[in-house]
Amino acid sequence: MNKLLLHPAAKPLVFVLCLLPFAWMVYGAFTDGLGANPAEYLIRSNGDWTLRFICIVLAVTPLRVMTKLNGLARFRRMLGLFAYFYVVLHLLSYSWFDMGFDVPDIAKDIAKRPFILVGFAAFVLLTPLAATSFNRAIKAMGARRWQLLHKLVYVIAGLGLLHFFWMRAGKNNFAEVFVYAAIIAVLLGWRIWNFASKNRLQRPPVGRGQLSK
């Protein structure tokens, strides 16, 4: 399996798979297949795919560690950039279809409605992660600072989930919210458990002499 993941064709294949939701939306737009409210469909679909890609990004490391498929790591950066791609489409769809690109009205709407403010905050935090997702940025920042910056993905996941919760609250539809919440909770819980396990292994054993002091 690792050989397949490391094959030169693997990355282009994953790239094409990541573009399929966008291609489906474009196809639907040209064939009147987006339902009775195409604007709402595009806004929500792009938002849903943003949250899905954030979950996929968070799942890469646990899957790599548990399955020993180290080749999965080479897709994480690309998957993160696709999360940003879909959040940009989500924001553009809202700005165009809902607000007509009226910047003052958009600013007022963001400040007035908490669920939009939370979603916009997630977009703002995701932007530096996308902007530094290349090797030159890692060298310029240093690996430690780069890793610290990219830990913002945990905050972004929480904000994205809260944004999604508030959107669904208007229709009292929480089924999907609970699914995403469970996925994110498991992925973050695994990280906490893994971090605690590593700390226990690195801690020097306490000898009898130390216990008696």
- The one-letter code for the residue type at 80 is G
Predicted confidence (pLDDT) per residue in 85-122, tens digit: 999 999 999 999 999 999 999 999 999 999 999 999 99
Tell me if 102 sits within 8 A of 108, measured CB to CB. no
Per-residue confidence band for 171, with pLDDT thresholds at 50, 70 and 90: confident
Where are the chain's structural domains? 2-198
pTM more than 0.85? yes
Cα–Cα distance, 121 to 47 (Å, whole number): 14
**110 close to 103: Cβ distance less than 8 angstroms:** no
CB atoms within 10 A of CB 166: 17
Q: State how far the Cα of 31 lies from the Cα of 178, in Å rounded to an integer.
A: 33
Contacts of 162 (CB under 8 A, 6+ apart): 115, 118
User: Predicted confidence band at 194 (pLDDT cuts at 50, 70, 90)?
Assistant: confident
The stretch 125-147 carries a mean pLDDT of: 94
Q: Which are the contacts of 137, defined by CB distance < 8 A and separation ≥ 6?
A: 131, 146
Q: What is the mean pLDDT of residues 47-61?
A: 97
